[in-house]
Amino acid sequence: MSSDPNLYVTQPQLPPLEDFVELLKVIWDRKILTNGGPFHQQLEQALAEHLGVKHLALLTNGTIALVTALQTLRIQGEVITTPYSFVATAHSLLWNGLEPVFADIDPHTCNLDPERIEAAITPKTTAIMPVHCYGHPCDVRAIQRIADTYGLKVIYDAAHAFGVRHQGSSLLNSGDLSVLSFHATKVYNTIEGGAIVCPDAKTKQRIDFLKNFGFADEVTVMAPGINGKLNEVQAAFGLLQLREVDAAIARRTAIATRYREALADVEGIALMPEPADTTPNHSYMPIRVQPGYGLSRDGLYQRLREQQIFSRRYFYPLISDMPMYRGLPSAQPTNLPVARRVASEILCLPIYPALSEEQQQRVIDAIRASRR
Ligand code: T4K
């Protein structure tokens, strides 16, 4: 038996403590704690290289990064987005006074269905905000075709997509901007943190101004920017994390493979298809609990909890069912039948590098034994 009987959906990856202490000593000596210090600059460079993107601006978290990305491109009016995501996706629109327009998802990828995007366009639409849910790529070609045809911007919520490669390049190079989250629960973390990936230096400069209250220089404020700066302690933490991230993803891949093999024959448990032409990051381990299982999704969730296995229903409830969104015309259940069905079946199982084989077996055995 493991020493800790509790199994959570994730557990953050931590750098070696002694290495972190070394970098803290450097910060203490330098006395530069924030405002784009040396570790911040070093991490932006290192992440851009590691991810294979041209420019990357660090921010305090993924939510502020989404809010800032929308301001960067001066988005107005309506933005087409998915109801099947973490609330921060839609909240970033409300923080900018924009109207979210929910479109339904594809049942296989759980990402926005391009046909439904096109059907949701109105004269007020200015942008699309799709999510690469679980790090699985959206249909980026189809979405770009729609954006080009109708003159729309595309801002990807790529909070789950650290390191994902798709069709021979970083997935983060898709669209106009991509937004990452480096929250503690993510594949790569800086405790809290986030980033915007952008294609050119001019856009990066605008983001850098916006995340520093809008200051362009000591006396010029170019826009009502926010305080979105990542501090030096977190940037140092992030530099150390970068050394471990490839090994962490390899370990996640092994865990995901084992789950897939062990659960493939369980009636009523559906695994998501593996994305084509993609090197995934296995940021999540979603399964769908369908009628053939005999126990409902919530029944299995509860059964696992009784055994101290804390799976999560990412993403239930739908954003469109939350009080601040459910009055929108696009939030009506009849507009979102696929998202509704997936949200009622989804369960994300524990997956993180430190999950031992013995712990994973406990999860597998519990799922197999709960079937009716
Ligand atoms: N867009 C998308 C698509 C997102 O998924 C997210 C965030 C965002 C945007 C916004 O990015 P950020 O502003 O967060 O950078 C978590 C995270 O807080 C959130 O970052 C994440 N998505 C979302 C999917 O999940 P909770 O409330 O489910 O997390 P929590 O605290 O219950 O943690 C889950 C489990 O992880 C715990 O049961 C135990 C374990 N854990 C957690 C933390 C924080 C640890 O072992 N140690 C820890 O420090 O939201």
Q: What is the pLDDT of residues 55-111, one digit of tens each?
A: 999 999 999 999 999 999 999 999 999 999 999 999 999 999 999 999 999 999 999
Question: What are the beta bridge partners of residue 79?
Answer: 100, 127
Q: Whose CA is nearest to atom 37 of ligand 1?
A: 8
| Percentage of the residues of the chain whose pLDDT score is greater than 90 | 98
| pLDDT score at 5 | 83
Which residue is listed with tokens 């070093």? Answer: 42
How far away, in angstroms, is 150 Cα from ligand 1 center? 35
| Distance from C-alpha of 74 to C-alpha of 174, rounded to nearest angstrom | 19
How far away, in angstroms, is 95 Cα from ligand 1 center? 20
Ligand 1 atom index nearest CA of 10:
36
Residue 279, amino acid: T
Enumerate residues 6+ apart whose C-beta is below 8 A from 218: none
Say if residues 80 and 313 touch (Cβ distance below 8 Å).
no
Q: Report angle CA 255, 17, 188 to the nearest 5 degrees.
A: 40
Question: What are the beta bridge partners of residue 229?
Answer: none
With respect to CATH, is domain 17-240 assigned 3.90.1640.30? no
191: left (phi over 0), alpha (psi -120 to 50) or beta: left
How far away, in angstroms, is 62 Cα from ligand 1 center? 11
| pLDDT score at 3 | 54
**Which one of 60, 157, 172, 183 would you pick to mutate in the ligand 1 pocket, going by the greatest count of ligand atoms within 8 A of its CB?**
183
Residue 177: pLDDT over 80: yes
For residue 307 and ligand 1, the question of a CB distance below 6 A is answered with no
Residue intervals of the chain classified under CATH 3.40.640.10 are: 17-240
Q: Establish whether the linkage from the previous residue to 102 is cis, with ω within 30° of 0.
A: no
How far away, in angstroms, is 346 Cα from ligand 1 center? 17
Residue intervals of the chain classified under CATH 3.90.1150.10 are: 244-370
For residue 11 and ligand 1, the question of a CB distance below 6 A is answered with yes
| pLDDT score at 372 | 86
Ligand 1 atom index nearest CA of 64:
13
How far away, in angstroms, is 50 Cα from ligand 1 center? 23
Q: Report angle CA 268, 273, 279 to the nearest 5 degrees.
A: 145
Quick: pLDDT tens for 323-338: 999 999 999 999 999 9
Query: In 3D, which of 153, 163, 219 has the Cα closest to residue 188?
Result: 163
Which residue is listed with tokens 């509790």? Answer: 6
Residue 26: DSSP 8-state:
H
Residue 4: pLDDT over 80: no
Q: Report angle CA 61, 195, 68 to the nearest 5 degrees.
A: 75
Q: Whose CA is nearest to atom 49 of ligand 1?
A: 184
| pLDDT score at 28 | 98
With respect to CATH, is domain 244-370 assigned 3.90.1150.10? yes
Copy the structure tokens of residue 121.
């366009």
Mean pLDDT of 295-313: 97
16: left (phi over 0), alpha (psi -120 to 50) or beta: beta
How far away, in angstroms, is 39 Cα from ligand 1 center? 25
How far away, in angstroms, is 184 Cα from ligand 1 center? 7
Residue 357, amino acid: E
Average pLDDT, the chain: 97
355: left (phi over 0), alpha (psi -120 to 50) or beta: beta
Quick: pLDDT tens for 200-220: 999 999 999 999 999 999 999
| Spacing of C-alpha 45 from chain mean position | 21
Enumerate residues 6+ apart whose C-beta is below 8 A from 106: 112, 113, 139, 338
Residue 2: pLDDT over 70: no
Q: Whose CA is nearest to atom 30 of ligand 1?
A: 185
